[in-house]
Amino acid sequence: MKLNYRIAVFALAIVFGLFFSFPSLLQTESGKKVTLGLDLQGGLHMLLGVKTDEATKSRIKSIAASIKNFSDRKDILIDDLTFDDSSVSFSVLDIDDVKTIEEYLKSLEGVKLVIDGENVSLALTEEEILKTKKQAVDQAIETIRNRLDQFGLAEPVVARQGDEKILVQLAGIKTQEEEQRARELISRAAKLELMAVDEERAARVYNMSDADAAAYGDVILEDSKNPQIKYLVHEIPILDGGMLTNATVGFDQNNRPVINFTLNAEGAEIFGDFTGRSVGKRLAIVLDGKVYSAPNINERIGGGSGQISGDYTVVEAKDLAIALRSGALLAPIYLMEKRSVGPSLGADSIKASMVALIGGFVLVILFMMLYYRMAGVIANIALIANLFIILAVMSLFGATLTLPGMAGIVLTVGMAVDANVIISERIRELIYEGRSIHKAIEEGYSNAMRAILDANITTLIAAVVLYAYGTGAIKGFAITISIGILASMLTAILGTHGIYQMLENKIQKSNNNRFWFGIKG
């Protein structure tokens, strides 16, 4: 028995493997553990697209609203304020006021202004449209992240993918109801608008078409509880949820949940001015295009706070408050890809792949022992160490173990012994040629090394490509395969070499090649 650096490194690797794989194996409280992929623990994976065109539309709409606010405040009379997908136009009644309006419009960023006498029109510039679209995606990511953080799931993943896609991964969703809630929370636009009811024409709302309403600069909106009830409101809102500072769940006098919201200073001022001007008229509180309530304005309302009452449960009210607080989605999102796995299926998959792993493992170990005797046992030690090291490295880096990842580990078991098969065959050959044990071992390793390296590197190339181009679960396969290959270089090549060097004299003395290498002589 003699110690050498190889055996020392191998021993260290085993200690490393055991130490860092323990938290995952025994599921201890502390320590870094392997994360199970959504396909194994159950969960929701979604790829969401952002309808960025809608963002430019709403940008235009809010410019129109700000023009209306400005002209109201400055007592400038404007007419024919209309807007389409990318431009706003209106005319100023008193031509002397054009200058004031022009100055204001010039302070807006990213617009092209065309003034022709009393007719004014403005459109977004190309860069502004791109910027708005990009912002819409950024804002959607931010908003969804905020909402999910408050939802109370452990470690939600919200990430940008490509230019206009958002990846959302929610592990640990246990029930259908929970998934439904999460999806509603994510996709809710949560666009709050305070809109003025067009009292002059409100009585005719049931006889109007959308086009009729548009001709007056109005829209027809449905009641949130009863779609039969309709309201005619001015299309350009008084203010929107962007001026909201807080939203909380409260209860009204009948002990039904309501949402109390507070506006920022600017919003409070606009709100105060408007209510002051509109006593006796109605104010529609509109959320996502539905009217939640339309109370009469009895007096000027200062302080900038309001209430949304609706027919919802406490849980719904809570989710709605979260959505309002985290801000509206500038652009609606849509589903591009969804993968949802129930926890019971995940558990079944773990069970099945464990059976395969253990079954394959036992077969390989028995076969190696039978065929190579002690050389097989040595290879098996390396194989077991390899498994622990894979688990340890994955735990350390917090890598995700997916079902294809499990398959990767199973496959590694089959392929990791390959190195030892090559080495053992070489050693056998050299013993047959009459070399001493020492020579046979050293030459066997050096001869086998080239082939093993070349073979492993090519497999690694395939694994790296798989990692770069694969998605989700498939990446997990590439990870386990890669770690397995790298670990096998340490265990199957360096580790077993160390063991042979340690036992060399013993093998030489025993002169029993059948026992050590499974061959005659």
Partner 1 sequence: MEFFKYTRTFNFMGKSKIALLISIVLVLGSYVLLATKGLNYGVDFAGGTIVQVKYDTDAPIDAMRDKLKGNPIFEGASITEFGSPDEVVIRMKTTTGDVTVDVGDVTREALKGTGNYEIRRVDIVGPKVGSELKEKGIMSLVLAILGILIYVAFRFEWRFAVASIIALVHDVSIALGAITLVGLDVNLDVLAALLTILGYSLNDTIIVFDRIREGVSQSKKTDLEEIINESVTRTLARTTLTSLTTFFVVFTLFMFGGEIIHAFAFTLLVGVVVGTYSSIFVASPVLLWFGFDVKNYRNKLAQKAKREAEKAKMRAQFESGVM
Rule CB under 8 A: which of 426-455 touch partner 1? 428-429, 432, 447, 450-451, 454-455
Q: Which is nearer to partner 1, 191 or 282 (CB)?
A: 191
Q: How far is the CB of 513 from partner 1 (least distance, A)?
A: 11
For the residues of 335-392, what is the DSSP string, one character each? EEEEEEE-HHHHHHHHHHHHHHHHHHHHHHHHHHHHHHTHHHHHHHHHHHHHHHHHHH
Q: Three-state SS for 411?
A: helix
Q: Tell me which residues in 182-221 interact with partner 1 (CB under 8 A).
A: 183-184, 186-187
Query: In this chain, which of 471, 508, 510, 512 binds partner 1, going by CB under 8 A?
Result: 471
Query: In this chain, which of 41, 349, 380, 513 binds partner 1, going by CB under 8 A?
Result: 349
Distance of CA 257 to the CA centre of its chain: 31
Q: Which is nearer to partner 1, 31 or 343 (CB)?
A: 343
DSSP H helical segments within 74-195, as ranges? 98-106, 126-151, 176-187
Q: Three-state SS for 177?
A: helix
* Type of residue found at 247: A
Determine the Cα–Cα distance for residues 382 and 420; give it in Å rounded to an integer: 9
Q: Three-state SS for 298?
A: coil
Q: How far is the CB of 21 from partner 1 (least distance, A)?
A: 20
Query: In this chain, which of 339, 435, 438, 439 binds partner 1, going by CB under 8 A?
Result: 339
Q: Candidates 104-112, 288-296, 418-426, 496-504 — which segment interacts with partner 1 by CB under 8 A?
A: 418-426
Burial class (CB in 10 A: 0-12, 13-18, 19+), 181: middle
Q: Tell me which residues in 354-373 interact with partner 1 (CB under 8 A).
A: 355-356, 359-361, 363-364, 367-368, 370-372
Q: Candidates 69-77, 194-202, 206-214, 341-349 — which segment interacts with partner 1 by CB under 8 A?
A: 341-349
Q: Which is nearer to partner 1, 263 or 463 (CB)?
A: 463
Q: How far is the CB of 40 from partner 1 (least distance, A)?
A: 11
Q: How far is the CB of 142 from partner 1 (least distance, A)?
A: 17
Q: Which is nearer to partner 1, 25 or 421 (CB)?
A: 421
Q: Which is nearer to partner 1, 450 or 509 (CB)?
A: 450
Q: What does the angle CA 410 – CA 416 – CA 418 come to, to the nearest 5 degrees?
A: 125
Q: Do the Cβ atoms of 258 and 317 come closer than 8 Å?
A: yes
Q: Do the Cβ atoms of 244 and 192 come closer than 8 Å?
A: yes
Q: Candidates 100-108, 148-156, 217-225, 462-470 — which segment interacts with partner 1 by CB under 8 A?
A: 462-470
Q: What does the angle CA 11 – CA 14 – CA 20 come to, to the nearest 5 degrees?
A: 140
Report if residue 98 touches partner 1, rule: CB under 8 A.
no
Q: Which is nearer to partner 1, 65 or 166 (CB)?
A: 166
Q: Tell me which residues in 490-519 interact with partner 1 (CB under 8 A).
A: 518-519
Q: How far is the CB of 340 from partner 1 (least distance, A)?
A: 5
Report if residue 315 touches partner 1, rule: CB under 8 A.
no
Q: Which is nearer to partner 1, 130 or 411 (CB)?
A: 411
Determine the Cα–Cα distance for residues 161 and 49; give it in Å rounded to an integer: 10
Pairing, β 400-401 against β 35-36: parallel
List, edge to edge, every strand of the sheet that includes 283-287: 230-234, 218-223, 290-293, 283-287, 192-196, 239-240
Report if residue 170 touches partner 1, rule: CB under 8 A.
no
Report if residue 461 touches partner 1, rule: CB under 8 A.
yes
Residue 191, token pair as written in the block: 């666009």
* Type of residue found at 320: L
Residue 73, token pair as written in the block: 């405040």
Q: Candidates 22-30, 257-265, 270-278, 330-338 — which segment interacts with partner 1 by CB under 8 A?
A: 330-338
Determine the Cα–Cα distance for residues 460 and 477; give it in Å rounded to an integer: 12
Report if residue 336 touches partner 1, rule: CB under 8 A.
yes
Q: Tell me which residues in 42-71 interact with partner 1 (CB under 8 A).
A: 46-49
Range 73-84 burial, b when 16+ CB lie within 10 A, else e:
eeebebeebebe
Q: Which is nearer to partner 1, 38 or 308 (CB)?
A: 38
Query: In this chain, which of 458, 505, 510, 512 binds partner 1, going by CB under 8 A?
Result: 458
Q: Candidates 101-109, 243-251, 386-394, 406-414 — which segment interacts with partner 1 by CB under 8 A?
A: 406-414
Report if residue 404 touches partner 1, rule: CB under 8 A.
yes
Determine the Cα–Cα distance for residues 410 and 180; give it in Å rounded to an integer: 35
Query: In this chain, which of 223, 288, 425, 443 binds partner 1, going by CB under 8 A?
Result: 425
Q: How far is the CB of 452 from partner 1 (least distance, A)?
A: 8
Q: Do the Cβ atoms of 481 and 392 come closer than 8 Å?
A: no
Q: Candidates 74-82, 89-97, 151-159, 471-479 — which segment interacts with partner 1 by CB under 8 A?
A: 471-479
Report if residue 342 touches partner 1, rule: CB under 8 A.
yes
Residues in the chain: 521
Site size for partner 1, by CB under 8 A?
81
- Angle between helix axes 496-510 and 437-469 (nearest 10 degrees) is 160
DSSP state of 200: T
Q: Which is nearer to partner 1, 154 or 468 (CB)?
A: 468
Q: Which is nearer to partner 1, 9 or 519 (CB)?
A: 519
Determine the Cα–Cα distance for residues 214 and 217; give it in Å rounded to an integer: 5
Q: Candidates 97-105, 178-186, 198-206, 253-261 — which segment interacts with partner 1 by CB under 8 A?
A: 178-186
